[in-house]
Amino acid sequence: MANKHWVSPTLRRLRKERKLTLDMVSRRTGIDLSSLSRKERQLVPASDIEILKLAAFFGVEPREIRSEEGGSAARAALGQP
């Protein structure tokens, strides 16, 4: 079974720095657009494969894409403070 990881805010920063839309990243990585949007907003975790695809696409280490825990949006969605 694949591990799940929260995506760090670095993902959005990398995308914006490169002036890429979510659609562009989705097409190049093969990650569904709506799923990618939810991952970037830390509403759902990403799989190991998705982390690797995103890291390869942006040319960074996978650890730069992963976050140790969900962000405030994820905690709110789970009813946590």
pLDDT digits (tens, 9 = 90+) for 23-40: 999 999 999 999 999 999
How far is Cα of residue 54 from the mean position of the Cα atoms in its chain?
8
What pLDDT, on the 0 to 100 scale, is given for residue 16? 96
* CATH number 1.10.260.40 is the correct assignment for the domain at 4-77: yes
Picking from 53, 60, 62, 61, the residue whose alpha carbon sits closest to that of residue 27 is 53
What would the mean pLDDT of 33-61 be, rounded to a whole number? 94
- Residue ranges covered by each domain of the chain: 4-77
What would the mean pLDDT of 3-22 be, rounded to a whole number? 91
What pLDDT, on the 0 to 100 scale, is given for residue 67? 78
Report the alpha-carbon distance of residue 17 to residue 47 in Å, rounded.
24
What is the number of alpha carbons within 13 Å of residue 46 lying toward its C-beta? 31
Report the alpha-carbon distance of residue 42 to residue 71 in Å, rounded.
6
